[in-house]
Structure 1
Amino acid sequence: MRTVIVGNGMAGSRLVGELRSRDRRMPITVFGAEKARPYNRVMLSNVLAGASAPGDIHLTDPGWYADNDVDARLGLPITRIDRRERTVTSADGDVTPYDALVLATGSTPVVPPLPGLDAEGVVVFRTLEDCRAIVRHAESARSAVVVGGGLLGLEAARGLAGRGVPVTVVHRAGHLMDRQLDPEAGGVLRRTLHDLGVRTLLNARLSAARAEVGRVSGVELDDGTVLAADLVVLACGVRPETGLATASGLTVDRGVLVDDRLRSVDDPGVHAIGECAQHQGTVYGLVAPAWEQARVVADVLTGRTARYRGSRLVTRLKATGIELAAMGETGLGDDEAEVVRFTDPTRGTYKKIVIRDGLLVGAILLGETGTAGLLTQLYDRAEPLPADRLHLLFDGLGTGTPVDTPVRIPDTATVCRCNNVTKGRIRASWEAGARDVPGVAAETRATTGCGGCRDTVVGILEWLDRQDPGPHHEPGAEVSRL
């Protein structure tokens, strides 16, 4: 089966790897609009902050495609799909036939149609090249404005502040990260950011960017306020990239409509995964669902039985000095569900769990996320909750054992959501000789997605090291299972 993948980002490149791990002979051609080999887009905030170099976030080695007999055409976007002839046409005019076509075209940044946004120094934050441009401008910037107070915008703002650039976030909603947080949590987060050097303006709308000699010099808000800035970062959201799908006659709503096998509802020979796919009314914008979808499509294309049932999302903010995890229906109030809260704004702490019919349906942990693993497990599996709700918010409560320690996590619990890695797999890789995070990552891919599970993986490895009976212990030997 000749498989063509359109898109070489986090979804498309993962599908290539999943297919090749199942079938060494399948002809695979992947087209990527970017010239760079695939990289972890989630870790761009680390590059912006200076915590990682661009070369640290690539997902494949330089020679991987050649070594695995994959025809990778990078920097070569697809311009046309002919579903009747089952071919795709690339920007160089070449026509490539397919038996199975997978669209992994991702999303396009939203750029408001406002005056001045074409000036030098106005940059969207989406690709590795965008990140390099922001870093380059930040080296001489006296002040910066980030437009958008969502997840990506706040990561950009914190990264710039960490480089010593005064930053103001302009956000149109009444509180930060309004899609994931309730107003109270948004208020605590705003205070924390202020303490870290990030100013925020809420209920504020950009009306234009000002420029001098072609270079941005500031922005104007709809109330007439003018903010000086020689760097403006646009993080106004994204929209699924569905132009090719629409032009080829596929049914598109917000994304390409797909069934439980992630096939287009119009053409079983065309699949869609990642941010361009819409499954049961939902377009997922995080890496874990995209990689789960890649696994399902790899199974389907290699003759295995697989269904995609949707994903339950956990959002983590990756910014130095801020710990945040949010999941589920966080906006419900006391009149709609059982809600347990703890707030300590002076210390930047806000915790909330939302319970309905005895099950966890939402949670926010800001400032201290020690029970995030436990809550994620309860949320994922819809397991009954303990009667003492406070144990879900605080580590141990003086019992001597934190509720989220490796001892308490069962082997079946998912530690790395992005790659669906359980504690049991991490234990198995440790027993096989992977005694540090890079070793476990190479064996299981844990920590290579959003990176939010790294501390938990470190804790498990340290705990396993303490269980090692001594220097004569064999790597594959059994370790007592607590």
Structure 2
Amino acid sequence: MTRKIIVVGWGPAAHRLVTGLLSDDADVAVTVYAGDGAEAHDRDALPDTLSGGPAAAGAALPAVHDPRLDLRVGVRVTAIDRMHRVVHGTDHRIGHYDALVLATGANPVLPPIRGLRAADGESLMAGVHPAHSAADFRALAQAATKASRAVVIGGSAIGLRVAAALRAVRTESPERAPLPVELVDQMPATPEITPADAYFRLRQTGVIAYQDCRVRRLEEGPDGALAAVTLADGYRLTTDLAVLTCGTAPNVALAWTAGLAVARGVVVDDALRSVSDPAVYALGGCAEHRRTLSGPTDVARLQADVLADRLSGRDALRTYRGIPPTPRPAPRMNTVVAEAERFLKAAAA
């Protein structure tokens, strides 16, 4: 009997899961609610799209073509009826499932900064962009070609990559100099948080980095668009483009309204199954396994592989136990000295 599987979301974790489910002749019918569009993207590659060229197309994951797949583009799930095992979509259709997989991912965190939002209180001020989805990066790439300066707020790994990519962005005129980019990181400069090497390489690209700094407010210009970023100490960074890279939070709204167990993410067991409903699963950025969020993309890929094996019947007993932390060897003295020297050079730059 054909197993009906519904997947909510079309990010890299969902794409990996669906590819695995359809990799052989498993008797499944897969319905995907792809509210953000037909293309799934590798989020790790999205910063590279800012500079254009071949990298811009490299973030798109391969299209999946299979008669067992029903990809509902632009349709979102509005409610889950767990008792009858159906979901309701924005297209007013009902989808029946034997297994429901939540792959809703995570949403970008908007920091509590004064002046972040426009006058309507809902949208961001003109000139302020998140950096999370493919649509975000398309809008950011377009804005960067017209910007005079850029400030990246948030020193996460994605923040450092976005800052470096903005320096290489293609401007509208070949005669224009590279885009001046500054990065504000509220975390102190410690190897445990961000390796000094990362900032040393970033400064080599021409990015000016401010560490252990907080943003007080965003200043609005006469035209209602961003004019400057003011730091906590009063220092003012003139800019017409600000990029928010302040982390993400699991997108659990749908799971919460359905009455599923939610802590920070959708709580799942070693089978990646909701602890409150054996017919519902979660993986990727929205899932919480053993009090740990998925985090890196490679974790989501492993979860997708495990769940594909279970739901397709290839290995119905396969479990996910998490990824053990990589042991960090004790640094040798010459390594410590070399890193300190690089950090001091970077600080003096």
TM-score range, shorter chain: 0.7 to 0.9
Per the alignment, residue 114 of structure 1 pairs with: 113
Instruction: Quote the Cα distance in structure 1 between the aligned partners of 2:218 and 2:12.
Output: 32
State the Cα RMSD in Å: 2.2
Higher RCO structure, 1 or 2 (CA under 8 Å, sep 6+): 2
Instruction: Quote the Cα distance in structure 2 between the aligned partners of 1:211 and 1:93.
Output: 41
Per the alignment, residue 136 of structure 1 pairs with: 142
8 Å CA contact retained: 2:75, 2:90: yes
8 Å CA contact retained: 2:49, 2:57: no
Identical counterparts, % of pairs: 36
SS of the residue corresponding to residue 272 of structure 2 reads coil
After TM superposition, give the deviation of residue 25 of structure 1 in Å: 3.5
Instruction: Quote the Cα distance in structure 2 between the aligned partners of 1:287 and 1:30.
Output: 20
After TM superposition, give the deviation of residue 50 of structure 1 in Å: 3.0
SS of the residue corresponding to residue 274 of structure 2 reads coil
Establish whether residue 241 from structure 1 lines up as the match of residue 241 from structure 2. Answer: no
Per the alignment, residue 70 of structure 1 pairs with: 69
Per the alignment, residue 193 of structure 1 pairs with: 202
Per the alignment, residue 186 of structure 2 pairs with: 172
Establish whether residue 222 from structure 1 lines up as the match of residue 232 from structure 2. Answer: yes
Per-residue deviation, residues 227-248 of structure 1 (Å, max 9, x unmatched): 1111100000000111111111
Match of 2:318 among 302, 306, 312: 306
Instruction: Quote the Cα distance in structure 1 between the aligned partners of 2:310 and 2:262.
Output: 22
Amino acid at match of 2:320: Y
Structure 1's 25 and 77: CA in aligned 2 closer, same or farther, altered over 3 A? same
**Structure-2-length-normalised TM-score:** 0.86
8 Å CA contact retained: 1:31, 1:73: yes
Instruction: Quote the Cα distance in structure 2 between the aligned partners of 1:339 and 1:139.
Output: 42
Amino acid at match of 1:130: D
After TM superposition, give the deviation of residue 96 of structure 1 in Å: 0.9
Alignment of 1:83-482 (within 5 A): 83-117=82-116, 118-163=124-169, 164-175=178-189, 181-182=191-192, 186-212=195-221, 213-303=223-313, 304=315, 305-312=317-324, 328=326, 338-341=330-333, 342=335, 343-345=337-339
Match of 2:13 among 6, 11, 14: 11
Per-residue deviation, residues 72-99 of structure 1 (Å, max 9, x unmatched): 0122221111111111111222221111
8 Å CA contact retained: 1:20, 1:68: no
After TM superposition, give the deviation of residue 338 of structure 1 in Å: 4.4
How many residue pairs are counted as aligned between the two chains?
322
After TM superposition, give the deviation of residue 13 of structure 1 in Å: 1.1
Instruction: Quote the Cα distance in structure 1 between the aligned partners of 2:294 and 2:309.
Output: 20
Amino acid at match of 2:152: V
8 Å CA contact retained: 2:50, 2:56: no
Amino acid at match of 2:277: D
8 Å CA contact retained: 1:50, 1:159: no
Per-residue deviation, residues 392-440 of structure 1 (Å, max 9, x unmatched): xxxxxxxxxxxxxxxxxxxxxxxxxxxxxxxxxxxxxxxxxxxxxxxxx
Per-residue deviation, residues 353-411 of structure 1 (Å, max 9, x unmatched): xxxxxxxxxxxxxxxxxxxxxxxxxxxxxxxxxxxxxxxxxxxxxxxxxxxxxxxxxxx
Instruction: Quote the Cα distance in structure 1 between the aligned partners of 2:71 and 2:262.
Output: 27
SS of the residue corresponding to residue 138 of structure 2 reads helix
Gaps of 5+ in 2: 117-123, 170-177, 344-349
SS of the residue corresponding to residue 21 of structure 1 reads coil
